[in-house]
Amino acid sequence: MQGYISEDTLRHALIVSGQMDREDTVTMEARDCGRLDDALSAVTEFLKTVPPGCPILELTRANGLLRQVVDCLRTAKK
């Protein structure tokens, strides 16, 4: 939440809403992981064709974030 809400307040809201309990029971299906892999591949390929300029910064950032998500999910599945 980028510092707008304290960690304690956010944690309390997640506990009250039941999201903290749900976190341990939810798993990503292979199909969903495949979609993230496809998205990462698409952005990576698109980066190769985009000319230099402002959009390249956002696309590079998106590519890095998608890579982090995919890596985290692979680590979590082990």
Alpha carbon distance 61, 68 (integer Å): 11
Q: Residue 22 has what DSSP assignment?
A: H
Give the pLDDT score at 77.
60
Residue 54 pLDDT exceeds 80: no
Give the pLDDT score at 10.
81
Residue 33 pLDDT exceeds 80: no
Alpha carbon distance 35, 49 (integer Å): 21
Q: Residue 51 has what DSSP assignment?
A: P
Residue 74 pLDDT exceeds 80: no
Domains in the chain: boundaries: 27-77
pTM over 0.75, yes/no: no
For residue 8, what pLDDT band results from cuts at 50, 70 and 90?
Answer: confident
Q: Residue 28 has what DSSP assignment?
A: -
